[in-house]
Amino acid sequence: MKPGKVTLVSAGPGDLDLLTFRAAKAIAAADVLLIDDLVNSEIVSLAPRARAIRVGKRGGCRSTPQAFITRLMRRYAQQGRHVVRVKGGEALLFGRAGEEMSELRRAGVEVEVINGISSGFAAAAGLGVSLTHRDHCPGVIFVTAHLRDGTSPDWPALARTGMTLAIYMGASRLADIAAALSGVLPVQTPAAIVEWAGTTRERRVVATLDDIARLAGAAGIVSPAVILVGGAIGEASCDADVLQDAHELSRRA
């Protein structure tokens, strides 16, 4: 029997036109698709001969257990199938790819990774900012808002780096994050939150650390969303209607 393999495909932030050619080719060649919850459901149209299985995983929601997903990948690959694990955004960024690769390699299963566009970059593109603008910062830090044990990162230490912060999975903790960062950074430090970045559902609020949580709450911004903090975010060139919406929210709040 021909040995199977697993390909971890980065599906990008949502819209299918943000897939790479390599990702689209891998999906078309799949025997089995395991699709994450945040992946565009239309992606199955690119794999007409594959069996599609949805294995949703979202914070705060009922999710498919990680161990079950890994067993599915291993089982189908050992049956000689080409398994494509389709992950939202960039597979190697907050997607548990490390755990999956380790388990599959221990089982003797070949693993390939195809990179893609993370929602942090899509959020920056929507705002019209460079995350590493040389006038404002020496780099960017991608960080999750909650660690594996449920605790938070060391926000003051991150604030002291002078880097742009791209914070994932933090919409529900925005007020606490902003307060912690404000212990080090000026309260007028530019900040933004972008919901459904890189999709037709994208919404943005641009503000400062002292009012980002209030304005995001007034706008009804919820997960999935990316929070961006730092001087570089002050370069945002939002559309006129977005700026007007932010002004109106500020007035009401």
Report pLDDT for 87: 95
Q: Residue 178: which residues within 8 A CB-CB, separation 6 or more?
A: 191, 209, 210, 212, 213
Catalytic residue among 36, 87, 101, 211: 36
Active site (annotated) includes residue 1: no
Active site (annotated) includes residue 36: yes
Find the mean pLDDT for residues 57-76. Answer: 80
Residue 20, both tokens = 């790479």
Q: What architecture does CATH give domain 119-252?
A: 2-Layer Sandwich (3.30)
Secondary structure element (H or E) that encloses residue 84, with its range: strand 82-87
Number of H helices, E strands in the chain: 8, 10
- Contact yes or no for 197/219 (Cβ under 8 A): no
* Banded model confidence at residue 240, pLDDT cuts 50, 70, 90: very low
Report the top-level CATH class of 5-114.
alpha beta
pLDDT digit string (tens) for 67-90?
899 999 999 999 999 999 999 999
Active site (annotated) includes residue 169: yes
Q: Residue 102: which residues within 8 A CB-CB, separation 6 or more?
A: none
- Contact yes or no for 135/195 (Cβ under 8 A): no
CATH 3.40.1010.10 occupies which residues in the chain? 5-114
* Banded model confidence at residue 239, pLDDT cuts 50, 70, 90: very low
Q: Whole-prediction pTM value? A: 0.89
Q: Is the pLDDT of residue 246 over 50?
A: no
In which region does residue 45 sit, left (phi positive, over 0), alpha (psi from -120 to 50) or beta (all else)? alpha
Report pLDDT for 132: 97
- Mean pLDDT, the chain, rounded, equals 90
Q: Is the pLDDT of residue 62 over 70?
A: no
Report pLDDT for 57: 61
pLDDT digit string (tens) for 88-144?
999 999 988 999 999 999 999 999 999 999 999 999 999 999 999 999 999 999 999
CA distance 83 to 52: 10
DSSP state of 146: S
CATH 3.30.950.10 occupies which residues in the chain? 119-252
Catalytic residue among 73, 101, 163, 169: 169
* Banded model confidence at residue 160, pLDDT cuts 50, 70, 90: very high
